[in-house]
Structure 1
């Protein structure tokens, strides 16, 4: 900045005091040097205008304001006796951003971290900040020797090409992790508890074997949690130091620990003056026993229980203060929870951010709080789960900040959209279904309104399906979900049960909540059903022979299918009651869910039955990443009005519903028995004869139980589990049970349930086996989120089985989307 110098003669003793002169006024403003920025834009940043008195302070502030815009590399303001000349040199525009030498990091990843981009302003300060960001990015990937040199190539029209020349340097690994001061746990054990890992040649895909200061801080907390969960209440990490090796290629990481001693819980109590809360009841919720080994995680669990109890008793605002008292002489920890009512805070505003597709009201209607309501953490947590349950968002976070006053809060719901529309083609192979083809067009958030539209074409070796569904989650503007579905399904059980069924029709349903955790849905289905099988051209003769009482043994086995062949209309009215108390709708680690369904066929149509199904699941987190679950399910169907249950309405279980057995692998079936050389009846096939497993018949009742523990296996994208399952299928209608003898020399039909009297090797006794004997299997599963799609492997071993069951000791499924 240039400014006129005002001189005053102070050397002469006869100098007179200056007479008052009015300040010089600014007469005119002229801008020169600008190329892209308009002169009026420059003038808009000035703190003076023509006609204003001249002021050094305003000139100086205007200069700083122009620099702060970032538009100019240099600015000179020359007042020139009231004719102000403003000379500017504009910052160049970045034409291109180029990276050279980056091999381990993709250009897109670096671009995401820096601010420089084409058509943005070039400033040297901003470039230096970007250089530091790139270096930090390389350090996080384990390359501490990386250097970045920015270069600028000037182009016409005040543009520049910005080039970052990168020298990545070698990967800086972790040569050794040492622990000092540990006596209770070995170095090897402690290394397993932290995230940072030593560099080993065979850990090709690990990213934790390089030095990261942020990861080291996380490891300190991991060690503290590990020790305090095992009784060491005064444990502390004295220091965590990383030293670079002389060759600058690796780090030595050293944790210095002060383990302290092992403590046990002493006196545990809860203090409160809130009238609606019973002190004894609260102490029972704490679930910490005196004399047990101290475990810090139990404190957080106890606080959650106390918060929940206070919330259910009407106290939305409670402050739970914990008072830990360590007695180093007796090695005990006394704990007192003080439950006091906190200050009341009200919600001033709810802001929704991050939703680029989903409309605001779709999110707001899942919130259990609105503006003006009293702040309630429990209701906010429930709201987050409800928003997550929409499955529209990859991330959902709810944070609160102080509003316009201390008793006002602003709630911000931050979401990150994930794709909800999908056009996919999946193909794969399953050891159970042989092949799988899946073509679907799905939009789970149609027009951002939360509506579902799905069109599916699905095929496997024993199922082909076309399905079109539309769901409006707020039908008629109410908390009522309405759905319409059209379908055409072919179920092929020719190999397992000797028949194929076709279902074509539609369904309408309505669902609404009963309470916070329960809902009820009703539905009506109308469908045309048919059954066919390879020998159905013989049915006219078989049915006539049955009427004439001339049925042969060979045709008896066709009679039950012939009686069901052809088309019929099913009119079905049903409902489902659901109770969901899981702590997370996507990856639960606690709680349970329960479903009870009933369907009545016979409200018109040709089929009459009552079907009842129940299913429940229980989840319990054992350790971080380790989740135990138990499942119980069962169903019973019975005809009414004199109608038996047709084969296509029965339960066929196996495959992934009951791991360890093939499709329709358990349940009632027809077995062939023959006499061996010693006149002992054995199933055919057990001594080298024909296959002893005849057609599966399905059952009117089933029950399944399973227990499973899933856990990480230490490799990214891999999850393992061990499980045990038990189940049974049976109670076939008597109309479809028979025991016959097939003798090539006669057409006799007499035989008891045990096929007594069959002693000739050429004679076959067909027997219907229908028992509720349980089956039990145990096994392990591996889940792999591979680059080609999810793959699941199941390995099973029978514990209890029947000789005529159709077993399957290994099965896998994979699908690839492209």
Structure 2
């Protein structure tokens, strides 16, 4: 592209202004010295004919319609000027001249060129297809300098939303033959503008470090250049303000507000200093809690019994919402439609409490006419409709519609989901509009691994959270290592038969054939299951498991116990099982604490070769202290495997406590062992307790590094049938471990480094003083 072929829009606009204003200026400059202006008499014109010259694409009638002048019409000089301005502002012409010649008005125009092609140069962050969707200028349309400027602004805004504040987009044209031009948007993308510092003014209760964890926007720093970069996006700041408000209000600070947010750009325009100016206010607690109504014949006692909030608890809007939901369910159970629960809050500034009266009123008789869903190009309508507890014809409940919107967003299928209500065909009906934007929900990965024990193998996995747009979960993985072959498949339908009933099925196959191992195994299983709610926080899973296991290739030097167990050959296990879980992490009264309880059993003997009862249980509690700077958690879990009617467990069935269960020891590092061969045998019983604290280290938060300390104690025992072998540690023997942890947030996930020291162990236990894992939260 040559400089001679480029004509900027700004230059074109200046020439047009000269056509209108330059005449008056030239007349003033050319007036002789001492010239005295004379009164001007308004001049009018009447044209018997209008001649239009220079137009090729635009019809004469179109030109006349913009000019607004008809033949024989008497027009003034001002109206003639208006006609000129109308033609210029139409955007169809590059230049316009109106010349009266007696009774004839000559309109001479030069049409705007036609756009030949629209190109983008210099863009790499956003491709041509993404930018083309933002501009309105199109090929074969008339070129409009004003529209090109608006298109450039739209493209610039797209880059700003990606944190590139220094982006510059310049529209330019290249002249072609036949009054055509190529429209080129020259893009200078610039660099990402990082958040150099996130700070707060006015916060007294919670530190900057704690509040930064609340925000969606993150702070960049020295190490973050290596592990994670974050950019400044102005729209995200508004979302951050809402997150701060929700955070404080859920902790009783009802007067919290963000006065302002300032963003100062560095001189190099490659960084931003963001400061939130906040007012925390006082923390309020619940005062007197009551329920009342003016509906005749409605007994409030069943409603009062359903209120879980108690005086003295820190106020939280979430608890208000949960209580309203429970009370509305009571009304429906009593056959009371259109009951609305309106919390009447009375503020007591003296003792910093809020009295809440749940007022039961009769709401308007409004029904849901229909639910309209748009934007779901992949996801089926029924997947979205399943998130609504109401259908067409049901009473309209605004709170339930808001809850449905949250459930749709929680699916994770959509980058955006808006749910709004509007008036329907009649005043007593409403239409629910759902507008969603799809986002990717699947992943596919390939890889290879090599180890001296297993050899070389190919690893592949497929995961899809919205299979065929049906909201179903599909996972498939395969590993082809010669010494350790694995195949796993799982499928889940979260809304089986259109109800809150989750159906799942899992299949697995694993074969080990390792020359260095004491024995080889083949294991396969299939497990269908159903999971459903049994209370507000409780869920129950029922399942059937069919498992095949074979223990073979036992080394002659292996334990006599393992050799005897291998003589049974392959066997089938068939069992029915259940697991009850109770989870208060989202619905508990304390937003800083939660409890997760699990209890399950597998009952073997429904066919198969063995009869057994396997019982597992766990309890986990977590809370934050010291203004939520420190997280404290505790877990107690155990398991018992009991074979009956003369059946015995095998080494492939028993528990082995690795670092994921009790830190500080190798997999199979504790528990019963053969005294002669030192082989780990596993155990039928285990129990462990883990206590942990996580705390900041005082390092800049942008490093993503925190510290921790833990204490574990537990035991693994009871090998069952010993076959005359001398077994060490077959009885309960407590091990104790202390350790320090280092947590590091990285792009591949939260890493955890553990350093441990055993306080109590047995002589033959195998310690593991260092461990690196992917950190998880309960």
CA-CA distance at 1:642 after TM superposition: 1.2
**Does residue 307 of the first structure (1) align with residue 317 of the second (2)?**
no
Distance (whole Å) between structure 1 residues aligned to residue 480 and residue 760 of structure 2: 31
Distance 2:284 2:592 in 1: 26
Q: Which of 683, 696, 701 is the aligned partner of 1:699?
A: 683
Equivalent residue number for residue 571 of structure 1: 573
How far did 1:669 drift? Answer: 1.6
1:486 CA drift (Å): 4.6
Partner SS for 1:562 = helix
Residue 731 (structure 2) aligned to one of 745, 770, 780: 770
Equivalent in the alignment of 1:610: 613
Partners of 1:333 and 1:435 in 2: CA distance: 67
Deviations 1:608-648 (A, max 9, x none): 32222334555667788987665443221111111222221
Corresponding position of 1:732: 718
The reply to whether residue 797 of structure 1 matches residue 768 of structure 2 is no
Counterparts of 2:229 and 2:733, CA distance in 1? 53
3-state SS of paired residue (2:649): coil
Question: Equivalents in 2 of 1:217, 1:700: separation in Å?
Answer: 55
Structure 1 counterpart of 2:50 = none
Aligned to 2:300: 276
2-structure distance, mates of 1:664, 1:223:
46
Are positions 1:808 and 2:764 aligned together?
Answer: no
Distance 1:524 1:603 in 2: 10
Partners of 2:264 and 2:565 lie apart in 1 by 83
Tell whether the 8 Å contact from 1:670 to 1:769 is kept in structure 2 after alignment: no
Note if contact 1:431-1:813 (Cα within 8 Å) is conserved in structure 2.
no
CA contact (8 A) 1:193 1:223 kept: no
2:603 aligned with 1:600, yes or no?
A: yes
Deviation at 1:700, TM superposition (A): 0.7
What SS class does the counterpart of residue 273 from structure 1 fall into?
strand
What per-residue deviation string (whole Å, max 9, x for no partner) do you get for residues 210-264 of structure 1? 7x766777787888899999999878777666778999999898888889xx857
Conserved 8 A contact 2:663-2:712: no
TM superposition shift of 1:191? 10
1:346 corresponds to 2:367: yes
Shift of 1:475: 6.5
Deviations 1:761-816 (CA, angstroms, capped at 9, x unpaired): xxxxx745432424444443535442xx446333142454413322223333589x
Instruction: Please give the secondary structure, in 2, of the residue aligned with 1:736.
Output: coil
Using the alignment, how far apart are the partners of 2:540 and 2:196 within structure 1? 59
Matched, 1:558 2:579: no
What is the match of residue 322 of structure 1? 345
State TM-score, norm by structure 2. Answer: 0.66
Number of the residue aligned with 1:666: 670
C-alpha displacement at 1:650, in angstroms? Answer: 0.8
- Name the SS for the 2:131 alignment partner: helix
Q: Distance in 2 between matches of 1:511 and 1:256?
A: 47
- Please list every run of 5 or more consecutive structure 2 residues that lacks an aligned counterpart in the other structure: 1-54, 67-82, 97-106, 294-298, 333-338
Report the CA distance shift for 1:797/1:382 in structure 2 as closer, same or farther (over 3 A). Answer: farther
Contact 2:251 2:316 in 1 (8 A): no
Does residue 118 of structure 2 align to residue 114 of structure 1? no
Indicate if the aligned counterparts of 1:357 and 1:448 stay in contact, CA closer than 8 A: yes
Is the CA contact 2:119–2:184 (under 8 Å) kept in the aligned structure 1?
yes
**In the aligned structure 2, how far is the partner of 1:363 from the partner of 1:434?**
47
Per-residue CA deviation, residues 391-431 of structure 1 (Å, 9 max, x unaligned), is 5x154645232332665443344444344444322457999
Choose from 419, 424, 446 the match for 1:425.
Answer: 446
Number of equivalences:
669
> Match for 1:95 among 117, 121, 125?
117
Whether contact under 8 Å (1:430, 1:814) holds in the other structure is: no
CA separation of 1:367 and 1:197: change in aligned 2, threshold 3 A: closer
Q: CA deviation at 1:535?
A: 2.7
Q: Offset of 1:368 from its aligned partner? A: 2.5
Cα distance in 1 for partners of 2:767, 2:434 equals 51
**Residues 732, 189 of structure 1: CA spacing in aligned structure 2 closer, same or farther, 3 A cutoff?**
closer
Distance 1:109 1:530, change over 3 A: same
| Residue of structure 1 in register with 2:646 after alignment | 642
Query: Conserved in 1, the CA contact under 8 Å of 2:713 and 2:735?
Result: yes
- Who is 1:372 aligned against? 393
8 Å CA contact retained: 1:706, 1:725: yes
C-alpha separation between the residues in 1 aligned to 2:643 and 2:372?
55
Cα distance in 1 between the residues matched to 2:287 and 2:184: 64
**TM-score relative to the length of structure 1:** 0.64
Residue in 1 aligned with 2:171? Answer: 150
Determine the C-alpha separation between the residues in 1 that align with 2:608 and 2:374.
52
The worse-fitting range, judged by mean Cα deviation, of 183-192 and 776-785 is: 183-192
**RMSD (CA atoms):** 5.8
How far apart are 1:572 and its partner, in Å? Answer: 0.6
* 1:51 matched residue in structure 2: none
The structural deviation recorded for 1:186 is: 12
Cα offset, 1:738, TM superposition:
5.2
Matched, 1:503 2:523: yes
Q: Which runs of 5+ in 1 are unaligned?
A: 1-31, 47-62, 77-84, 290-296, 539-554, 673-692, 741-765
SS of structure 1 residue aligned to 2:768: coil
